[in-house]
Amino acid sequence: MVLLIRWWLLLLVFAGWRAHAAEPPSIDFARYMEGKYIFERNCIVCHGPRGDGAGEMAASLNPRPRSFREGMFKFRTTPFGALPREGDLRYTIKHGLSGTAMGMFSQLSDRDIGAVIEYVKSFSRRWRKAENYAEPMRFPDPPSWLNEAKHVEKGKTLFSAHCAVCHGPNADGKGPAAATLKNMWNFPSLPSDLRQPHLRCGDREEDVYRVLATGLNGTPMVSFDALLTPEQRWEIIAWLFSQKLPQVPTLGGAPPREAASGK
């Protein structure tokens, strides 16, 4: 049993590390062991026994399953570079990432999800440093003028200037730079076709706004928090939603994220 404990877990316990962290990353050993059990039954085939994203199915998948060893997560409510909140990971695990092999694990209880998150955290040292944690960002509601023609027009111009090089002038993901982009794991990072009714980040205007604020860690999709004003971001979103392809019938999309509250 003791052999199964990661060496650093022991160190953490002895160093009383819990006392120092901003968002106390409390390591609960019983939960960690529960999480290991759940991970081995549900996640290993893609994310690999060592959490390096090299599970049996990995080679056939695009995008590849995430390596958890670098502690980098795309879909968050926290600023670019920061670790996600627990609520962000819960949302991903519960609802999956549309259009990828990362399915929804709605059969897992809240407790099971909490435990598997504890285990996922054990793969990367980033979770042990308080400076990698951050409070969630604030995201405003969409403005009432969102669908007014003049803003949609401005959004088109802004999209050409800031996004088209990667996402393509018509947002289909085929911009001139698209084929050359790689992520931090040195795998191709394909710009999303933003006309799809279901994006990984979610289906709503607010979901795209959140990505523009947070960026996607470890990918060329950086944060536009400093580059575009909130009004400019909503204008881009207004144009993007005017280009959406028709909805295909689904089992009923994901509900709004509770993660925005930071829990």
169 lies in the binding site for ligand HEC (CB under 6 A): no
Residue type, 45: V
181 lies in the binding site for ligand HEC (CB under 6 A): yes
163 lies in the binding site for ligand HEC (CB under 6 A): yes
Select the residue interacting with ligand HEC from 27, 46, 82, 260 (CB under 6 A): 46
47 lies in the binding site for ligand HEC (CB under 6 A): yes
Tell me the C-alpha distance between 202 and 197, whole Å. Answer: 9
| Shortest separation between residue 131's beta carbon and ligand HEC, angstroms | 20
126 lies in the binding site for ligand HEC (CB under 6 A): no
Name the token pair of 31: 């939960």
Alpha-carbon dihedral angle through residues 213, 214, 216, 221, given to the nearest 10 degrees = 30
Name the token pair of 140: 């405003």
| Shortest separation between residue 112's beta carbon and ligand HEC, angstroms | 8
Put residue 173 in one of left, alpha, beta given phi > 0 → left and psi -120 to 50 → alpha. Answer: left
Q: Give the x-and-dash track for 193-232 against ligand HEC (CB under 6 A).
A: -x----xxx------x--xx---x--xxx--x--------
Tell me the C-alpha distance between 31 and 252, whole Å. Answer: 32
Residue type, 31: R
Tell me the C-alpha distance between 194 and 241, whole Å. Answer: 9
Q: How many chain residues bind ligand HEC (CB under 6 A)?
A: 47
Footprint on residues 52-111 left by ligand HEC (CB under 6 A): 57, 61, 63, 65-66, 73-75, 89, 92-93, 97, 100-102, 105
Nearer to ligand HEC, 85 or 167 (CB): 167
| Shortest separation between residue 55's beta carbon and ligand HEC, angstroms | 7
Nearer to ligand HEC, 10 or 179 (CB): 179
Diameter over CA atoms, the chain: 65
116 lies in the binding site for ligand HEC (CB under 6 A): yes
115 lies in the binding site for ligand HEC (CB under 6 A): no
Q: Which stretch binds ligand HEC (CB under 6 A): 7-15, 19-27, 40-48, 138-146?
A: 40-48
Short-list 219, 215, 229, 199, CA closest to 78: 215
Tell me the C-alpha distance between 12 and 9, whole Å. Answer: 5
Give the chain's radius of gyration (CA, Å): 19
Select the residue interacting with ligand HEC from 192, 213, 259, 260 (CB under 6 A): 192
Short-list 143, 84, 82, 90, CA closest to 116: 90
Tell me the C-alpha distance between 126 and 59, whole Å. Answer: 26
Contact residues: ligand HEC, CB under 6 A: 42-43, 45-47, 57, 61, 63, 65-66, 73-75, 89, 92-93, 97, 100-102, 105, 116, 120, 162-163, 165-167, 177, 181, 183, 189, 191-192, 194, 199-201, 208, 211-212, 216, 219-221, 224, 236
